[in-house]
């Protein structure tokens, strides 16, 4: 099953490893097993799914399935996280390096439309689009049954299991589905309460160029991925489906398997591709799936399910949110989402929060690919926006909840991707800009393409890699692990080097700015987006330079380089307040005349959230300008943009405004029946951004300051949350009654000193490693 040349994390994954890499070693407080407490976190329904956004997701980080819960006909739509179109490629336009000085000169002369036209002609990537993430196909199960009764399907977020139960012909049937992270298979079990009652036909279908054959007790699929944008398919992929009946008879019929008269049926599904790394497709997927099926076959379904639950709960049970009981919990989830628009349902917000943590665990584990625009779940070969990695907000938003919601292991795939991008991005920096370091623009894919795509008005944005670097810093900042900081320092340094070589000086002010760039994905004049020094770029670079200089100081290295980037930071163009009292999105006050005043992106508010450069206490004028911008942009936007707005209002400590937008996010316009976020169509970032927003309403952490209940709405008068993480390596539990803090508990992973803030009250707490302290009451009295 292992192969020479495999990357360690990939090899460990394919063997079923569940541990984090050594670089992402966890504090003991996170690594220890959680106590087995019962949970009621479930989505449930009274009818099968008829649409994909009604089906229920399971996943183990690498494999995913959407379970429809049918009766006579069941569908499991299947994904494997490395099945993308195309193969290794370098999209840098060979004319870009020569054209960029001309583009910059046109921008400096105020001829932005001409600059954008030239960039489209000579700078943008070839091909102009990247590769799409693709579906494997469907596992189809057919049973000759009549009309059912007592139907129920549910997703148990705590056990990571989808269950369908019903009665047909006087027989009670149960179908359970899991995605095992320990054995790397999807497993299905069918049971009936009458012996010999299961008759079943099993088929495997795929939209790819592939063959499916029935061999003994298995369906065997072998295929190749597709060509896209002129890039030939370079991947081979394979799947095996083993059918194990308990009693009855198993036969073959063409490319299908038939079971008749069984008491139970267990189905094991393994899928793999030949992908090893963005530049290596030499794996043996047939050998991988054969070994995985052989391994999983040594265990009965119950043991596979128990192993899956234990491993899932190790992560899932670290955090629990209780916002009280709601009458809506008695309704099926799809009806509950609709009903919550008429009456407040705090427990629905808690369920949404728990669901996001479930989705992140299921779509991003050590050794897998990062969660893409749809996490891991996609039913198309041509999904919206290729279901790739959009790194001008969406990929970052996917990981906003990971650190504070106690899922640091789930960040490992993102860290691994940044390491890859530093390799491909270094080639792009040299070939396109003649610069040191590395760069990534606004999208990337499995093949780690880094050139600007989609057209200059969308993709000529060089700050994607810099934003990703802030997530590397965050992972360090929440754990304060010096070994991890040492491992990522070259990535931070390389990102800084690129901008030291490419920033331009504004002749009017002497300030440093990016050029060419855009403010994602907005236009300052009709049809024109290209500019110099958009506010978001300057804000991201302040964080990048600050964090890299701090890393150098902590590690005791590169003092001269740290001084150089600190000097560059001091010269960056500052945030500006426009004539309408708003925070300017561009260097010039173009906001009032921009063609989309309600634009979904609020890129220039990065400084308020996820950064903390803009703060009500430290920078009140800029905070007021950010508020004015939010008022102008409106509360209702696409799914992920709605989630961002909630986080921003939470940072402004306006819990009522944040909660009003959260209710919109949780409603049927922005939440599908299966609780997937509706962009529309489905994008998973809204789920993750919404969960982080709920956490921000309850606890905010910056440096060594922990702000308790900064944006608690009146709709949540009592409740509690346990297991949140604060920067510096500290666990935070909160409980409140009648809208007031009742109890706050800190548990330190490492020695440190924190300032706990509650409104205007502050209390300094110094803790030894593993020490616990509890504060009570509105004045933070020590218990």
Could you say which of 620, 655, 683 is where a domain stops? Answer: 620
**Separation of first and last alpha carbons in the chain:** 55
Q: Is residue 158 part of a domain?
A: yes
Q: Is the pLDDT of residue 24 over 60?
A: no
Same domain, 154 and 289: yes
The residue segments making up the domain with residue 755 are 719-782
- What confidence tier does 188 reach under pLDDT thresholds 50, 70, 90? very high
Same domain, 185 and 301: yes
Please give the pLDDT value at position 563: 98
What is the pTM assigned to this prediction? Answer: 0.95
Edge to edge, what strands does the sheet with 705-708 contain?
A: 699-702, 705-708, 752-758, 761-767
Q: Is the pLDDT of residue 387 over 70?
A: yes
- How far, in Å, CA of 171 to CA of 147, rounded? 12
Contact 647, 661 (CB under 8 A): no
Q: Secondary structure of the chain: what % helix, strand, coil (to 5)? A: 35, 25, 40
Same domain, 313 and 411: no
Please give the pLDDT value at position 23: 35
Please give the pLDDT value at position 783: 73
Q: Is the pLDDT of residue 9 over 90?
A: no
Please give the pLDDT value at position 781: 83
Q: Is residue 673 part of a domain?
A: no
- How far, in Å, CA of 667 to CA of 201, rounded? 38
- How far, in Å, CA of 298 to CA of 584, rounded? 62
List the CATH number of the domain containing 208.
Answer: 2.70.98.50
Q: Is residue 323 part of a domain?
A: no
DSSP 331-388: S-HHHHHHHTTTS--HHHHHHHHHHHHHHHHHH--TTSPPPBTTBT----SS-GGGG-
**Residue entry with tokens 């019962």:** 38
Q: How many domains does the chain have?
A: 3
Contact 696, 651 (CB under 8 A): yes
Please give the pLDDT value at position 2: 29
Same domain, 589 and 723: no
Same domain, 723 and 615: no
- What confidence tier does 782 reach under pLDDT thresholds 50, 70, 90? confident
578-603: pLDDT as tens digits: 999 999 999 999 999 999 999 999 99
Q: Is the pLDDT of residue 18 over 80?
A: no
- What confidence tier does 13 reach under pLDDT thresholds 50, 70, 90? very low
Same domain, 262 and 156: yes
- What confidence tier does 8 reach under pLDDT thresholds 50, 70, 90? very low
Q: Is the pLDDT of residue 29 over 70?
A: no
Q: Is residue 258 part of a domain?
A: yes
Q: Is residue 181 part of a domain?
A: yes
Could you say which of 286, 317, 348 is where a domain stops? Answer: 317
Q: Is the pLDDT of residue 501 over 90?
A: yes
| Section 351-363 average pLDDT | 98
Helix (H, G, I), strand (E, B) or coil at 50: coil
List the CATH number of the domain containing 594.
Answer: 1.50.10.10
Mean pLDDT of the chain: 94
Token code pair at residue 551: 């890393």
Please give the pLDDT value at position 777: 87
| Section 440-452 average pLDDT | 98
Q: Is residue 380 part of a domain?
A: no
| Section 549-562 average pLDDT | 98
Please give the pLDDT value at position 39: 55
Neighbour tally for 482: CB within 10 Å:
12
Same domain, 221 and 73: yes
Token code pair at residue 507: 């002749």
Q: Is the pLDDT of residue 549 over 60?
A: yes
Edge to edge, what strands does the sheet with 42-45 contain?
A: 42-45, 149-156, 161-168, 171-180, 185-192, 264-273, 236-246, 218-224, 209-215
Same domain, 312 and 413: no
Please give the pLDDT value at position 38: 45
| Section 222-231 average pLDDT | 97
Same domain, 188 and 45: yes
Could you say which of 571, 590, 620 is where a domain stops? Answer: 620
Same domain, 469 and 569: yes
Q: Is residue 560 part of a domain?
A: yes
Q: Is the pLDDT of residue 106 over 80?
A: yes
Q: Is residue 352 part of a domain?
A: no
Contact 714, 654 (CB under 8 A): no
Label the pairing between strands 705-708 and 752-758: parallel
- How far, in Å, CA of 86 to CA of 227, rounded? 5
Percentage with pLDDT > 70 across the chain: 95
599-630: pLDDT as tens digits: 999 999 999 999 999 999 999 999 999 999 99
Same domain, 60 and 191: yes
Token code pair at residue 223: 């295929």
Q: Is the pLDDT of residue 779 over 50?
A: yes
Same domain, 289 and 432: no
């Amino acid at each position: 099953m292992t192969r020479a040349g495999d990357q360690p994390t990939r090899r460990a994954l394919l063997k079923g490893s569940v541990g984090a890499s050594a670089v992402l070693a966890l504090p003991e407080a996170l690594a220890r097993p959680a106590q087995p407490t019962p949970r009621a976190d479930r989505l449930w329904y009274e009818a099968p799914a008829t649409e994909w956004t009604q089906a229920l997701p399971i996943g183990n980080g690498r494999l995913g399935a959407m379970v429809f819960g049918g009766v006579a006909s069941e569908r499991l739509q299947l994904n494997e996280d490395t099945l993308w179109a195309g193969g290794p490629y370098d999209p840098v336009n060979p004319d870009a390096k020569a054209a960029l000085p001309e583009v910059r000169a046109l921008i400096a002369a105020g001829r932005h439309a001409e600059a954008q036209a030239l960039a489209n002609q000579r700078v943008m990537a070839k091909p102009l689009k990247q590769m799409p993430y693709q579906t494997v196909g469907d596992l189809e199960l057919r049973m000759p049954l009549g009309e059912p009764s007592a139907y129920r399907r549910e997703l148990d977020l705590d056990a990571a299991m989808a269950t369908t139960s019903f009665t047909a012909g006087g027989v009670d049937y149960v179908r359970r589905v899991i995605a095992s992270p320990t054995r790397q298979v999807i497993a299905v079990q069918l049971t009936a309460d009458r012996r010999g009652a299961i008759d079943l036909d099993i088929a495997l279908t795929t939209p790819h160029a592939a063959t499916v054959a029935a061999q003994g007790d298995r369906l065997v699929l072998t295929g190749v991925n597709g060509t896209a944008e002129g890039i030939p398919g370079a991947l081979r992929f394979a799947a095996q489906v083993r059918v194990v009946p308990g009693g009855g008879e198993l036969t073959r019929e063409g490319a299908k398997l038939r079971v008749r008269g069984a008491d139970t049926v267990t189905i094991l599904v393994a899928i793999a591709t030949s992908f090893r790394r963005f530049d290596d497709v030499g794996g043996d997927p047939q050998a991988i799936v054969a070994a995985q099926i052989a391994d999983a076959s040594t265990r009965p379904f119950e043991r596979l399910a128990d192993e899956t639950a234990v491993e899932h709960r190790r992560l899932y049970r670290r955090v629990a949110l209780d916002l009280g009981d709601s009458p809506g919990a008695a309704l099926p989830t799809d009806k509950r989402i609709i009903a919550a628009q008429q009456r407040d349902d705090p427990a629905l917000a808690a369920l949404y929060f728990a669901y996001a943590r479930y989705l992140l665990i299921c779509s991003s584990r050590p050794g897998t690919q990062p969660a893409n625009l749809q996490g891991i779940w996609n039913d198309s070969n041509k999904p919206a926006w290729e279901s790739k990695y959009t790194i001008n907000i969406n990929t970052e938003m996917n990981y906003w909840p990971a650190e504070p919601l106690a899922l640091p292991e789930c960040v490992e795939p993102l860290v691994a991707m940044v390491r890859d991008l530093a390799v491909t991005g270094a080639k792009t920096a040299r070939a396109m800009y003649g610069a040191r370091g590395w760069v990534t623009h606004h999208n990337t894919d499995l093949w780690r393409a880094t050139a600007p795509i989609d057209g200059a008005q969308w993709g000529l944005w060089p700050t994607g890699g810099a934003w990703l670097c802030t997530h590397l810093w965050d992972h360090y900042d929440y754990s304060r692990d010096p070994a991890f900081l040492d491992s990522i320092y070259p990535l931070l340094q390389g990102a800084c080097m690129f901008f030291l070589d490419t920033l331009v000086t504004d002749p009017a002010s002497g300030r440093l700015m990016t050029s060419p760039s855009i403010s994602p994905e907005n236009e300052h004049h009709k049809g024109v987006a290209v500019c110099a020094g958009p506010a978001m770029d300057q804000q991201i670079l302040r964080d990048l330079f600050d964090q890299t200089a701090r890393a150098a100081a902590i590690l005791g290295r590169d003092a001269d380089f740290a001084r150089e980037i600190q000097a560059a930071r001091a010269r960056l163009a500052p945030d500006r307040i426009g004539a309408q009292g708003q925070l300017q999105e561009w260097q010039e006050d173009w906001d009032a005349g921009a063609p989309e005043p309600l634009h979904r992106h609020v890129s220039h508010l990065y400084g308020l959230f996820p950064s903390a450069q803009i703060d009500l206490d430290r920078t009140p004028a800029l905070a007021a300008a950010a508020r004015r911008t939010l008022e102008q942009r409106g509360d209702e936007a696409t799914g992920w943009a709605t989630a961002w707005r909630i986080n921003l209002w939470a940072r402004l400590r306006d819990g009522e405004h944040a909660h009003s937008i959260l209710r919109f996010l949780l409603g049927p316009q922005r939440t599908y029946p299966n609780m997937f976020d509706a962009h529309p169509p489905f994008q998973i970032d809204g789920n993750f951004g919404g969960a982080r927003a709920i956490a921000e309403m309850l606890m905010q952490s910056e440096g060594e300051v922990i702000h308790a209940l900064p944006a608690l709405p009146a709709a949540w008068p009592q409740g509690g949350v346990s297991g949140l993480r604060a920067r510096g390596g500290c666990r935070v539990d909160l409980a409140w009654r009648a809208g007031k803090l009742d109890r706050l508990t800190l548990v330190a992973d490492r020695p440190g000193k924190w300032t706990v803030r509650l409104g205007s009250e502050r209390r300094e707490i110094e803790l030894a490693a593993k020490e616990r302290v509890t504060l009570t009451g509105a004045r933070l009295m020590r218990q």
